[in-house]
Structure 1
């Protein structure tokens, strides 16, 4: 898991704001978001809960998926999350 390319979706506590990202080190990257080490959107809007992630064999495929998800309508992203994580639980601890 430590070096597996992944696309992830973070949600704010009230589920009003989503953030889609890509990384090759999911645990480290989510920790950075949760601790506001990553300045920018996720820090400004307090988007810290990992509600969805997908792992891939290559970073190129992960980047393509990230681009696809970023173009999706909000309701499609909501449905993707709900299909895999109905209660929108923070999945970070399950990665450890």
Structure 2
């Protein structure tokens, strides 16, 4: 049986820095980013807002999509975010309901 996965964008503010990642546990990973528990890019740039995510039936599919998205131009990422979340609101409270 395949493990489900997620592709997601974290940002530091509207139209700010965007980080692309994938995970099998979106709540846990978002919590880690929000609280600066993961060393690296998101902690250095203050990316604490979950602004977009996409669920996949298989973690490998999510990882493949992450790699594809990382090749995208920034404008494409912004359009993807604003297509679902035009105000760049933090989706954290929607996933922990």
TM-score by length of 1: 0.94
* Contact 2:6 2:23 survives alignment (8 Å): yes
Match for residue 80 of structure 1?
80
Gaps of 5+ in 2: none
* Contact 1:4 1:26 survives alignment (8 Å): no
Gaps of 5+ in 1: none
User: What SS does the corresponding residue of 1:47 show, helix, strand or coil?
Assistant: coil
Instruction: Give the aligned length.
Output: 94
TM-score by length of 2: 0.93
User: What SS does the corresponding residue of 1:28 show, helix, strand or coil?
Assistant: helix
Q: Decide whether aligned partners of structure 1 residues 14 and 84 sit closer, same or farther in structure 2, where only a CA change above 3 A counts.
A: closer
Match for residue 35 of structure 1?
35
Moved over 6 A (4+): none
* Contact 2:17 2:45 survives alignment (8 Å): yes
CA RMSD in angstroms comes to 1.1
User: What SS does the corresponding residue of 2:77 show, helix, strand or coil?
Assistant: helix
